[in-house]
Amino acid sequence: MDNHPIRILRIVAVMNRGGIETQIMNMYRKLDRSKFQFDFLVTRDENGVFDGEIEKLGGKIYRVPSVRKVGLFKFIKYIDNFFKNHQEYKIVHCHMNTWSGLFLNIAKRHNVPVRIAQSHSAQQGIKNYTVKGIIENSFKKVMKLFIKVGANHYWAVGKEAGEWLYGKKIAQTKMKIIPNAKDLDMYKYDPKVRGELRKDLEIGSNTILIGHVGSFSSVKNHEFLINLFYQMREKGLECKLCLVGDGPLRKNFEKKVSDMQIYDRVIFLGLRNDVNKLMSAFDVFVLPSKFEGMPNVVIEAQAAALPCVISDSITSEIDMGMDLVEYISLQKSSVYWIDAVLNKKCIERNIPTNKMIERGYDLKSLTKWLEEFYLNNVYK
């Protein structure tokens, strides 16, 4: 390697504390950075929460203006100029779902030999039959076709995510599943941490603490979750709801719980860097999302032996077979959801993570595999 690390370009929207970005950072920290380095091409003007850490670890951050700001044709020109001026990259790893078709075709035109597309979601949004929605869906279909031409490595967090982005033929013949692996020791259930955090959060020993981690956006379905919690309170159950995350709808929901007069029972924690510890403090994790791919938080919850009640719109691949996950339809009444929460909270939390390791969810093992992949493909 001529005493210089192999530099891998990761393409993302912005390096904030989302599931994809957190996963990249977890791997970046484990990487042998004397041999490998991650650099980032981001498409938003804003600074990401991980930017400072990336630079400390030796990574570089490049920015192109967002397509909404400059328009599609100028956006393409910016990307083209980037690859023209940065021919040092031999590996490009794109996390932009359908937009990967655009980035990887431009990378191919500039002779980047290793072009990785990675699918993180089984679908993107609910069908929109407006004129704008039809145009957007048509554009996504074209971009999916471009991925087949531009990429030469097809990765996905799960089977459904891969089939959605690449189609069944590629998913069955060329795709590799790359699990959202975790540092399992970080998430291991810790009774001491549980006690300390619950004391800080003023949670009594008999109080059921329902946890949720996710951005305040429509897809996460906070409306459903808050209404469910309100009905639990109406039934006289001793419980609190802890919401971790931020987003455009947060103030709306803060007002909602205030209007419902349950503000003292709902904890808004904002963005946190100790989600692994919070998993020990929760009694049940509830995720009523309208759709998801392979949500990191459900994997993290299982690593912490935390029981999960989630919507059946979330892929069954997320269940690690540890008897921790229960799926319920969003069409079911609150009675079903409440019963599931009450039943799941009784699960003992000394469940080993052997099944997660067997399925490839150990971060150390995955990072070692990734390093070997880089070496084998750059120097072949």
- What percent of the chain has a predicted confidence (pLDDT) above 70? 96
Encode pLDDT of 219-237 as tens digits: 999 999 999 999 999 999 9
Per-residue pLDDT at 236:
95
* pLDDT for the residue 230: 97
| pLDDT of the residue at 123 | 61
Does one domain contain both 318 and 354? yes
The mean pLDDT value for 191-205 works out to: 96
Question: 235 lies in which domain range?
Answer: 184-358
Give yes or no: residues 167 and 210 share one domain: no
Q: Are residues 27 and 117 in the same domain?
A: yes
Portion of the chain with pLDDT greater than 90, in percent: 83
Residues 120 and 233 in one domain: no
d(CA 235, CA 43): 47
Long-range Cβ contact pairs of 205-209 (< 8 A, separation 24 or more): 206/238, 207/238, 207/239, 207/240, 208/237, 208/238, 208/239, 208/240, 208/283, 208/284, 208/341, 208/342, 208/345, 209/239, 209/240, 209/242, 209/281, 209/282, 209/283, 209/284
pLDDT of residue 292: 79
- The answer to whether 296 touches 276, Cβ cutoff 8 Å, is no
pLDDT of amino acid 201 = 96
Q: What is the pTM of this model?
A: 0.81
Confidence band for 135, pLDDT divided at 50, 70 and 90: confident
Please name the residues in contact with 20: beta carbons below 8 A apart, sequence gap of 6 or more.
12, 95, 120
pLDDT band at 273 (very low <50, low <70, confident <90, very high): confident
Number of domains in the chain: 2
User: What are the pLDDT digits (tens) for 313-341?
Assistant: 998 999 999 999 999 999 999 999 999 99
Q: If phi over 0 gives left and psi between -120 and 50 gives alpha, with beta otherwise, what is residue 71?
A: left
Residues 175 and 190 in one domain: no
The answer to whether the CB of 282 falls within 8 A of the CB of 242 is yes
Instruction: Say if 373 falls within a structural domain.
Output: yes
Query: Which pLDDT does position 52 carry in this prediction?
Result: 97
- Give the mean pLDDT of the chain: 93
Residue 10 pLDDT level (bands cut at 50, 70, 90): very high
Same domain, 213 and 172: no
pLDDT for res 129: 62
Asked if the structure places residue 1 within a domain, the reply is no
Question: What tens digit of pLDDT does each residue of 278-288 get?
Answer: 999 999 999 99
Place of tokens 């924690």: 269
Does the residue 162 lie in any domain? yes
Residues 276 and 189: beta-carbon distance below 8 Å:
no
Number of Cβ atoms within 10 Å of the Cβ of 72? 11
Are both 204 and 330 inside the same structural domain?
A: yes
**Residue 106 maps to a domain:** yes
38 with 134, same domain? yes
The pLDDT of residue 377: 93
pLDDT of amino acid 380: 65
Residue 299 sits in a domain whose CATH number is 3.40.50.2000
Amino acid occupying residue 101:
G
β-partners of residue 240 are 209
Chain position carrying tokens 């779902």:
97
Same domain, residue pair 354 and 366: no
**Does residue 170 form part of some domain?**
yes
Q: What is the mean pLDDT of residues 74-81?
A: 97
Asked if the structure places residue 276 within a domain, the reply is yes
Residues 208 and 149 in one domain: no
91 in the same domain as 190: no
pLDDT at 2: 58
Instruction: Say yes or no: 221 and 283 in one domain.
Output: yes
**Does residue 197 have a pLDDT over 60?**
yes
Report the pLDDT value the prediction gives residue 128, as an integer from 0 to 100: 60
- Of residues 124 and 301, more confidently modeled: 301
